[in-house]
Structure 1
Amino acid sequence: MLRPNEVRLALAEGRTVYGLFCAIPSPSLVEMIGCAGYDFVIVDTEHTGVDPQELENLIRAAESVALTPFVRVPKGDSGAILRALDAGAMGVVIPHVQDAETARAAVYASRYAPEGMRSLNSGRQPGFGELVLTEYISRANAEIMVVVMIEDKQAVEAIDSILKVPGIDMVLEGAADLSQSYGVPWQIRHPQVLDALAHIAKRSQAHNVRYCAIPRTPDDHSAWLEQGVRCFVLGEDRSVTARALRAHLNIHRSAEGS
């Protein structure tokens, strides 16, 4: 059954929340992310192949450890938005939102009338009949978050029109693709990219829309905190796991020479 969106609640109370992208579609790994103390997980179905049943189980795993589940859907796929929400996601992350029209379509697919036209369903989310459907509709519109990713130069230039779209709850930066859009692939600390991120954050604050940063260093994290940012994605499970495995092995290899 639909639960309160703890991320939305925490941000409304001024608390800081931390999340992680999940690109390894394993329920056990999702549980680990929750047990490690993260507040939310973004299951990545844009770059990772995840079937509908598998997605439900990943979301169930998140729910079992009080981890708020979000799903990043493929670009421009309203059907994927519907399936993610019907599976139990408390938010959808929309990649490569370049204009107000794309943002409006995402809200339209994510919310029930009168805010949108999400297809009605009486399955998992309303508790298979445990929750009155009219009540579920109202709660879903209030709890579920629509997060737009700004990953293109065109989107930076159109940021004000995007942020004016009713129903956008948060902006998530996408520095990697932004760097490519500015002609400097993977140079995420290039001045043009940093200026773009600062502009996105500033305009988000002006429109009273939450900004979610992806800090690459502790100094990045501190700087965003000083600017009032309270939502952070700390990378992806694949890179975090790979670094941990290398560090674990290096500890033992270094002992060989001691």
Structure 2
Amino acid sequence: MLKPNAVKAKLGAGEEVHGLFCSIPSPALVEMIGCAGYDFAILDSEHTLVDPQQLENLIRAAEAVDLVPFVRVPEADPGAILRALDAGAMGVVVPHVRTRSDVDAAVRAARYAPEGMRSLNGGRVPGFGRIELAEYVRRANEEIMVVAMIEDAEGVEDLPAILDGGGVDLVLEGAADLSQSYGFPWQTRHPWVREALRRVHQECADREVPFCAIPRTPEDHTAWREAGVRAFVLGEERGLAARALRDHLDKHREAADD
């Protein structure tokens, strides 16, 4: 059932929020992320094979531990936006936003009239009747976030137009795909990529649209915070788990060799 969006409220109050990408479709893992103290998880349905029923259960797991569930949907897929929101997502992360028309399509799919034209439905998000449907429509338009991923050179260049039309609640950087767009695949620290991220942040700051960084080192995190950034995605649970497993094994092997 629809709840107040704690991430949106914290950002509005100038507080910091921290999240993770979540690519393993396991409700227990989502619960672990929430119990660890993260504010939000971005459940990935762009790069992973997750079926609609799995996604709904991942969202339920997030709700159980007061973790705000966002869903990264496939590119240019309004049907995926509708299904994610009907399952209970509190926001959609829209990849590869390159032009204002991409935002317009996402807003149309994610918000009810008069802001958009999201298809009307009942079910779990209005609590199977606990929230009166007209009231749910009003509250959903207030609480659900549209998050635009800027991960292409075209998106960087068109960002003023993308933001000036409104409807974007948060901009999330995508340095990895951005590096490829500039011709330097996986060189996320290339000067062109770093300058592009700086430009994206500045355009957001000029328009008072929150910007979400993906710091890859503690130094990155500090620099973004000093620049006024308050939203952070601190990696992906697969990478964190893989590194922890390797480190755990390495420590035991080193101890055995002593």
Question: 1:165 Cα deviation (Å)?
Answer: 2.2
1:119 partner SS:
coil
Could you tell me how far apart the structure 1 residues matched to 2:15 and 2:251 are?
A: 36
Counterpart of 1:152?
152
Counterpart of 2:232?
232
Could you tell me how far apart the structure 2 residues matched to 1:71 and 1:60 are?
A: 13
Q: Tell me the amino acid that sits aligned with residue 6 of structure 2.
A: E
Question: 1:193 Cα deviation (Å)?
Answer: 0.2
Question: 1:144 Cα deviation (Å)?
Answer: 0.3
Counterpart of 2:165?
165
Could you tell me how far apart the structure 2 residues matched to 1:51 and 1:40 are?
A: 21
Question: 1:167 Cα deviation (Å)?
Answer: 1.2
Could you tell me how far apart the structure 2 residues matched to 1:42 and 1:194 are?
A: 23
Counterpart of 1:135?
135
Q: Tell me the amino acid that sits aligned with residue 216 of structure 2.
A: R
Counterpart of 1:57?
57
Counterpart of 2:107?
107
Could you tell me how far apart the structure 2 residues matched to 1:252 and 1:36 are?
A: 25
Could you tell me how far apart the structure 2 residues matched to 1:38 and 1:181 are?
A: 30
Counterpart of 1:83?
83
The CA deviation string for residues 33-54 of structure 1, in whole angstroms up to 9 with x for no partner, is 0011100000000000111110
The CA deviation string for residues 103-148 of structure 1, in whole angstroms up to 9 with x for no partner, is 1111111000000000000111000111100000000000000000
Counterpart of 1:189?
189
Contiguous gaps of at least 5 residues in structure 1? none
Contiguous gaps of at least 5 residues in structure 2? none
The CA deviation string for residues 3-43 of structure 1, in whole angstroms up to 9 with x for no partner, is 00000011111110000000001000000000111000000
Q: Tell me the amino acid that sits aligned with residue 158 of structure 1.
A: D
2:235 partner SS:
strand
Counterpart of 1:21?
21
- % identity of equivalent residues: 66
Structure 1 residue ranges (4+ consecutive) displaced by more than 6 angstroms after TM superposition: none
Could you tell me how far apart the structure 2 residues matched to 1:235 and 1:33 are?
A: 12
The CA deviation string for residues 125-178 of structure 1, in whole angstroms up to 9 with x for no partner, is 000111100000000000000000001001111010001122110100000000
Could you tell me how far apart the structure 2 residues matched to 1:250 and 1:138 are?
A: 53
Number of equivalences? 258
Could you tell me how far apart the structure 1 residues matched to 2:76 and 2:165 are?
A: 17
Could you tell me how far apart the structure 2 residues matched to 1:86 and 1:29 are?
A: 22
Counterpart of 2:245?
245
Q: Tell me the amino acid that sits aligned with residue 114 of structure 1.
A: P
Task: With the length of structure 1 as denominator, give the TM-score of the two structures.
Answer: 0.99
1:225 partner SS:
helix
Q: Tell me the amino acid that sits aligned with residue 37 of structure 2.
A: G
2:43 partner SS:
strand
Counterpart of 2:204?
204
The CA deviation string for residues 174-219 of structure 1, in whole angstroms up to 9 with x for no partner, is 0000000000000000000000000000000111111000000111
Could you tell me how far apart the structure 1 residues matched to 2:61 and 2:8 are?
A: 20
CA RMSD of aligned residues (A): 0.6
Counterpart of 2:30?
30
Correspondence 1:254 to 2:254: yes
Q: Tell me the amino acid that sits aligned with residue 160 of structure 2.
A: D
Counterpart of 1:176?
176
Could you tell me how far apart the structure 1 residues matched to 2:72 and 2:88 are?
A: 13
Q: Tell me the amino acid that sits aligned with residue 186 of structure 1.
A: W
2:66 partner SS:
coil
1:172 partner SS:
strand
Could you tell me how far apart the structure 2 residues matched to 1:116 and 1:108 are?
A: 4
